[in-house]
Structure 1
């Protein structure tokens, strides 16, 4: 195992918990963005959705790299 790519089992659990939390945040922000009428708040929520999607992708990549390490 490469020390740079591998993560410890407890770190894997932490990343999974972060992914779960970020998915909940994404759901809430996406739903709220559709319901709000204030344009400034809608923009903030849409920016949050974009940022959260990027963060989820980064966390998924960490998990994939750690699972594919030989």
Structure 2
């Protein structure tokens, strides 16, 4: 049985997306602390929740797919 692995550029793309989503999460979470507009806070909280969902999905992807070592 042949084990399929992601190519190096696919591994790098997945890593870059994970890093980007992590930065988005941190930025939205930090900005909530200095924001006074409740509607904007709610929008940022929605972004935080979506980012957490996306990061967990990417982490599942990492665990399910072998990468080039």
- TM-score range normalised by the length of the shorter chain: 0.7 to 0.9
Task: Encode CA deviations 1:26-58: one digit per residue, 9 max, x unaligned.
Answer: 110000011101000000000000000000010
Please give the alpha-carbon distance, in whole angstroms, between the structure 2 residues aligned to 1:57 and 1:9: 22
> TM-score, normalised to structure 2's length?
0.85
Structure 2: which 5+ residue stretches go unaligned?
A: none
Indicate yes or no: 2:52 matched with 1:53: yes
1:12 CA drift (Å): 1.2
RMSD: 1.5
Partner of 2:35: 36
> TM-score, normalised to structure 1's length?
0.83
Give the aligned length.
65
